[in-house]
Amino acid sequence: MMLLKDVLRQWAERLRAVGSEEPQTEARLIACHLLGLEPGLLATRLGMAVEPDLAARGEMILAGRAERRPLAYLLGETWFYGLRFRCDERALVPRPETELLVDAALEWLQGRDEGTVADIGTGTGCLACTLAANNPSAWIIATDLSWEALSLARENAEALGVADRVRFLQGDLMEPLFAADLTGSVEALVANLPYVAESEYLAGQPELWHEPRAALVPGPTGLEALENLVFRLPELPRARFVALEIGATQAEAITNILCEVLPSWQVCTRRDYAGLDRIVVATRPEPEVECP
């Protein structure tokens, strides 16, 4: 039997050969999944012998990656902001850069006794559940057009113990908020909406083609869903904070629209780990307190 460290090296080489952009990371994630370990504990097992049944299960996952199926779907799970999320073809695979939305929202929520946050286009529920898990005073309203995605998000909320503070509503963008008469309660909004242009999708990595197309491509330009959402933000009378994930070339367009529809708000962008503008944050200035 081979040692785990040698198996990891072989898996990484094979993953690299089939087009994985992070072969070593994927090899470690496969091993953690098969061993039932959190990623940070794998280093303690590198000298263990790999049993034949574990190696065989690893081979099945590698075969799926050779077909360019997303690793998260093959494992049935992924890690996001230190939390384990169930993941399958019902929703888009959460990306590391989306954690920047969590950072921005948690910074805004810090020190507030409570806050109601709308997560528009929740998908796996990674934003809604992570915000609820990291801020016990936050209440989340999560919407999605897909019933399938909402069922997955509910499963994640139950598994993470936050289902009592996350309300799931089906519908397009903010329409469920209007239908349920909740627009007056939303104080903050986060959204990772589809923003991939059709041309970018067709030229993208094959893994994308295994994910729900509607969760990636809103239309020819990639701006359609973001624009539709931003133009309706003034209809949230109590909102004071908005954070949106955007495509790498969309900062100027979305920033301009935000400044147009929310003229008194402060708007800025945040860069992702590659140095690209990825998050747009808009904050309404706090009202001045008059002296008695």
- The pLDDT score that the predictor gives to residue 65 is 96
The amino acid sitting at 216 is: L
Which pLDDT does position 288 carry in this prediction? 58
pLDDT at 290: 54
Count of C-beta atoms within a 10 Å radius of residue 41: 11
Number of Cβ within 10 Å of residue 178's Cβ equals 13
> Would you state the pLDDT for residue 286?
77
Parts of the chain with a pLDDT under 50:
none
pLDDT for the residue numbered 292: 54
- Residues ≥6 apart with Cβ < 8 Å to 200: 222, 247
Q: Where are the beta strands (DSSP E) in the chain?
A: 77-80, 83-86, 115-120, 138-144, 166-170, 188-191, 241-245, 266-271, 277-283
The total number of residues shown for the chain amounts to 292
pLDDT of residue 114: 78
Q: Would you list the DSSP string of 70-96?
A: -HHHHHTEEEETTEEEE--TTSPPP-G
Instruction: Give the per-residue pLDDT at 40.
Output: 85
Q: What is the CATH number of domain 92-283?
A: 3.40.50.150
Domain ranges of the chain: 4-67, 92-283
